[in-house]
Amino acid sequence: MMQSARLAASIAAVVAGSAFATSAAADDINVYSARHYDSDDRLYEAFTDETGIDVNVLEGGSDQLIERIQREGVASPADVMITVDAGRLWRAEDEGIFQSVESDKLNERVPDSMRHPDGLWFGFSQRARAIFYNREEVDPGEINRYEDLADDRFEGDICIRSSNNIYNQSLLASMIAEHGEDDAEQWAQGIVDNMARDPEGGDTDQLLGVASGECNLAVANHYYYVRLLKSDDDADREAARKVGIIFPNQDDRGTHVNVGGAGVVENAPNRDNAVRFLEFLASDTAQHIFASGNNEFPVVDGIHKDPVLESWGNFKKDDVNVSVLGENNPEAVRIFDRVGWR
């Protein structure tokens, strides 16, 4: 039976910790997860059905979980840590949370660009950070690249999240990888100059800003758009119909994609089960759940995607190794500070 402790604050995590640690049996697996999607429960249930191994889940913020594992030290019950975005995976890696894993199954199933070169973590779902536009105000043929967004012809047109957002940090990290620090800083300055408003809200708020006419362009992860398209709320669906999606840089490096990923914790008490769990996450069964549960793109080719994603067809993805996005994260944050991206 899956035991799940959904924790929203670090103090709650501390209180719940002892019960979680003592409830785990030797043939279980203990997963610390920073993903907060109900559909992930299907992953754990499917793993148990296939292997007979029970999954104990502790949820919290990525930084909370890193701090907790460090505090628990060699006595930590954590076998696997799951989080989203290469920037957060890099933070965990940099803090010594993960151990290297060598698995023929993982190396065969997970593309090189979606896993750490030393096997410290593996990406299991992809999210494209796309450009969105107001269908009535913008000719999508005018925008082919992320770089175009910094052009002064789009002054006052852009809605985008705060620089504190890890998704934007990784996007800028990809610009550093492609163009170097100086050109990436010029691009970031151009985005600041073209903002329609000070950064506020999440990705959904940027899309709604485009739909309402507050701005004509936005940058957001693709699945937020799909959620609006499939919402039970008529207003959400109507807003989504006013917005179009662009997968940029199709004539050069491809669209920036990031990952939801996981690694085996350094002192995992159930290491064999942990490796087996990671291998399961790369299976057809798990990849389909990732694709259908949160409208993410699977990392394994040939998996049936959500119908909306299928309707978009194939697009070229940037194949830079996502570990580079984490390595470039500190410089991306410094650039944001220098250009005044709040």
DSSP secondary-structure letter at 119?
S
Phi-psi label, residue 321: left if phi above 0, alpha if psi -120 to 50, beta otherwise: beta
**pLDDT at site 20:** 54
pLDDT at 18 over 90: no
Report the candidate in 1, 82, 73 with the shortest Cα–Cα distance to residue 35. Answer: 82
Is residue 96's pLDDT more than 60? Answer: yes
Please name the residues in contact with 317: beta carbons below 8 A apart, sequence gap of 6 or more: 126, 128, 254, 255, 257
Longest dimension (CA), the chain: 61
**8 Å CB contact between 181 and 199:** no
Q: How confident is the model at residue 11 (pLDDT cuts 50, 70, 90)?
A: very low
Residues in the chain: 342
13 has a pLDDT exceeding 50 = no
Of 194-203, 232-241, 306-315, the one with minimum mean pLDDT is: 306-315
Backbone angles phi, psi at 4, to 5 degrees: -120, 125
Among residues 55, 62, 63, which one has the least CA distance to residue 273?
A: 55
pLDDT band at 6 (very low <50, low <70, confident <90, very high): very low
Please name each of the domains of the chain with its CATH number.
Answer: 3-126+258-304 (3.40.190.10), 127-255+323-339 (3.40.190.10)
CB pairs under 8 A, 24+ apart, for 18-27?
20/56, 20/58, 20/77, 21/72, 21/77, 23/56, 24/56, 24/77, 25/54, 26/269, 26/270, 27/52, 27/53, 27/54, 27/270, 27/273
Grade residue 112 by pLDDT with cuts at 50, 70 and 90.
Answer: very high
Q: What is the pLDDT of residues 263-306, one digit of tens each?
A: 999 999 999 999 999 999 999 999 999 888 889 999 998 898 88
Return the beta strands (E) in the chain as ranges. 3-6, 29-33, 55-59, 80-84, 122-134, 158-159, 217-221, 243-246, 257-264, 297-298
- Give alpha helix (H) positions in 230-296: 234-241, 271-281, 284-293
Specify the pTM.
Answer: 0.90
Tell me the two tokens of residue 80: 């696997």
% of residues, the chain, pLDDT over 90: 85
Q: Which residues pair with 82 in a beta bridge?
A: 33, 262
Q: What is the pLDDT averaged over residues 167-191?
A: 97
d(CA 93, CA 237): 39
Q: How much is the average pLDDT of 247-270?
A: 96
